[in-house]
Amino acid sequence: MDMWLKEGQISDAAMTYKIKETLVRKQTEYQDLAILDTYAFGRMLVLDGIVQTTIKDEFVYHEMISHIPLFTHPNPKKVLVVGGGDGGAIREILKHPSIEKAVLCEIDGSVIEECKKYLPEISSELNNPRCEIFVGDGIKYVHEHKNEFDVIIVDSTDPFGAAEGLFGGSFYKEIYECLTEDGIFIAQTETPFYLPEVVKKVFNDAKAVFPVTKLFMAGIPTYPGGYWSFTVGSKKYDPETVDLSNKIDFETKYYTKKLHKACFTLPKYIENLIK
């Protein structure tokens, strides 16, 4: 008998994946956690029935959420990742030689534990000495650390349940205060096709706080619609016009310096959405 995962995050559409094997399934303190081996995308992390990342396409998300802000900032030394327990953002952050410390603040320690075990390609740098892991509430952590980080990456699940507080104006104000005087923040901000009102609200909330606010897109096959938005809030530097000529090159699968600029060119319907 064939086994299939049906993801129903969007009320009137669904994604389905044929499963080879369930590697782990458990109810944590915060959510239902599963790591599945699938035919199309390899091993995937699923939280509360929603696909978070897969071996086959994770590089798109993790490279874009990390390298856009890190190449925009002239000298990032200290970075905070809120969420991101799979470790993919940490892996990409630590490719930048200027980074002295990357803090991973993940509320659910089971995510870190199981990803280290079953997704080593993604979590490979979580034991790096430049990485500090804090298991706890990201909102509380940000509130307690003022003027400390050059870049903050909000690598959260969707804006429902435990992650709901990570989207919105009050949290973005806390992030602003947690950043240094020329700091940059970035968040994944959902699908403009299926959840346009969420994209619009999050963008406007960030725009009300940060002097420079930009939205860009990336193609991620396992996310609803396959076309995903990210919002950048910056105190000083514009990610769309930054000079990248003196930035070092290292191995990537999706991100390039040309794409860094091009991804901010938006389709008309998305431009209209965030006006």
Active site residues: 155
The residue assigned the tokens 């901000």 is 189
37 known member of a binding site: no
Q: Which strand (E) or helix (H) includes residue 62?
A: helix 58-72
138 known member of a binding site: yes
Instruction: Identify which of 259, 257, 209 has the alpha carbon closest to the alpha carbon of residue 232.
Output: 209
22 known member of a binding site: no
158 known member of a binding site: yes
62 known member of a binding site: yes
124 known member of a binding site: no
238 known member of a binding site: no
Half-sphere exposure of 198 (CA within 13 A, CB side): 19
2 known member of a binding site: no
91 vs 71: CA distance, rounded Å: 15
E-strand stretches of the chain: 3-7, 15-27, 32-38, 42-47, 50-54, 78-83, 101-106, 131-135, 149-155, 179-188, 212-219, 227-234
Q: Are 194 and 10 in contact (CB under 8 A)?
A: yes
137 known member of a binding site: yes
Binding-site members for spermidine are: 62, 86, 155-158
Binding-site members are: 31, 62, 86, 106, 137-138, 155-158
